[in-house]
Structure formats: structure tokens, C-alpha cells
A = this chain, B = another copy of it.
């Protein structure tokens, strides 16, 4: 289970600007991938140290994208960020993985933090990680906690020179990466939507005690996804307003498109919330109906047999003088009377639509 509700107290009491990685240290070493590309050529390398990477960037005339997987090596992060002239708080934000999605425009660079969602293979549980972007001129640096694969498609497009990606600058690359993150949101939403449909089918066909727990779980996950994605709208809105020279002019139409997608994500989540509340009503109804059915069975049985038992009880009394007892056909008459009551009751229940 992912632990979205846990707010890490690790940092309490530290000086603001103290660089501490607040996530869990999952990898043995930081993984640096450097992709240098221009319209003509492209080179991919895995420099051993950040210093090497910086050196390579300096020499290359085109665009460079450094992807860093793993945030636990504070020194590496600090080195590359400082190279780009990032503010101390920016570096702190990159390392602190519980940031709200945000965009900060600085004099020379922009810093962007968003959440990347992922579906875990086995149980479709939703996990997430923070991705930070630093964009300054021809260099874009991306920081991830784990080795992700949502970016692989972008990498492929660069190497295979598909679309516009090699013809445009690093701001277009930033857009392309954000776009693939937002596109993945739809995959996650689709998975949630399928689970909601499954629960709905279950509720309509064969509700059981665990249905509510499933609804509860999905609601909790949606709540978390919503909290992670909600500030994104504002971020995209601000991104649209950033001007030259940070983002080139032609990019705004792409950002607007991204903004539209983000709105669609929000609206889908909101409509899922309504769906969940509809499912709760369905569930509550199925519980009521089951209760009603149980009560009906009890009432039918009790209402038929209690009067009959009473009649049997009458003729089980031991009074000396009970003339009916001695009449020869009394027993058959009594039985017939009971049968009559039985069918009378049956008829009454059928009229009441209980049967």
C-alpha cells in the first residue's frame, strides 16, 4: 500500500535550506542519463559522475537532457542544480518528495514539480513518485526517485527523430515529458473506472459484505490521486503565462492543449466521486433489501405457524370437559381448518406482494 497520508516528520527542526532527501532510499546508486540532441545528431551516454555530464553539456552545441534516477545522493543533486544556478530552496524542493505540484519561475530558470502516477502490475494499486524539472536555456534536468518508464517513449522519439522533438528546443522537450505524464494519468483513471464498473456490476448482481470495503479502498485511492493532481491545473495555468526567453512563443499552444488535458483529468476524477457516491447508495440499498428479505421470510413463517400452533395448543389442553375432542371427525375438521388458515395467509402475502 502506498502511504499518501503519512506526512514525513523527518525534516522538523532543521534549518530551511538544509538538504535532506525525504523519501525512502531505494537504489544503490544514482543513475545519470545524458541525451544530447540537435536536428542533425543525437548521443546518449551514462556519465559516471555529474561533473562528467556537466563537461559534456558545455561542449555540446545543441540541446541536452539529463535524467537523474534516484535522489538519495544529495551531493550529486546539489552539484547539477548549482551548475544551473538554482536557489537553495529549489534544491531542497527537489529532494523533498512530498511537495505539492508547483511551478516556480526564477530569473534564469524554471523549476517544476509534478507527481507521476504508476499502476503496480500485480494488483493495479496506484503508486506515485515526484518528478522535478529544471529548465535553463538549452539544458533540461529531470529528477526521479525511481527508474521510471513513462519517459521511454519520449526517448525513443528523440533517437528515432519522430515528430518535432528534435527540431524544437528543450522547452518542447519539457512539454513532451509533461504530456506523457498527463497521458499516463488517463491510463490510471481508466483503471479506476474499470474497477468502479466492476464494483457496480457486483453491486447490481451479487452484493456482499466486502463491497463497501472495496468502495472504501477505491475512494481512498481517488482521494489521494485527486490531492496529488489537483494543484496541477494551477501549475499548467501558470506555465501558459511564462514568456520568452524561458519558453519560446510557439509553445503556448501546446501548453494550452496540456492544460485542457489536465482539466479533463480533473473532471473525470470529479465525476468518479459522484459515481462512488452513487455506488454507496446502491450498496446501502442492497443491504436494506437483504434485511427486508430476511424480515419477510421470518414474518411469513412466524405469521403462518404461530396461529396454527395456537390451535394445536387448544386441543392439547387437558380439560375434562371438551366436547370437540370426542366428536369422531373433529381431528379432520381441525386439520382442514389449519390448512384453510395456511392458504388464507398465503393468499394475503401474495396480495401484499411478499411472495
Residues of A bordering B, CB below 8 Å: 5-9, 11-18, 87, 89, 93, 98-100, 102, 104, 153, 157, 162-165, 175-176, 179-180, 183-184, 186-187, 189-190, 193, 196-197, 204, 209, 212-213, 216, 219-220, 223-224, 227, 230-231, 253-254, 256-257, 260, 263-264, 267-268, 271, 274-275, 278, 280-285, 287-292, 294-299, 301-303, 305-310, 312-322, 324-326, 328-331, 334-335, 354
Evaluate whether A292 and B289 lie within 8 angstroms (CB atoms) in the complex, with A308-B310, A316-B318, A334-B317 already known.
Answer: no
Would A196 and B5 be within 8 Å (CB), given that A100-B263, A253-B89 are in contact?
yes
Name the residue on B nearest A230 (C-beta).
B267
Q: Which residues of B contact A318 (CB under 8 A)?
A: 315-318, 322, 325
CB atoms of B330 and A325 under 8 A apart: no
12 contacts across the A-B interface (CB closer than 8 A): A5-B196, A9-B187, A12-B180, A16-B179, A100-B263, A209-B289, A294-B354, A306-B309, A312-B314, A312-B316, A317-B318, A317-B331
Smallest CB–CB gap between A148 and chain B, Å? 13
A282 & B312 in contact (Cβ 8 Å cutoff): no
**A212 & B16 in contact (Cβ 8 Å cutoff):** no
CA distance A164 to B14 in the complex (A): 12
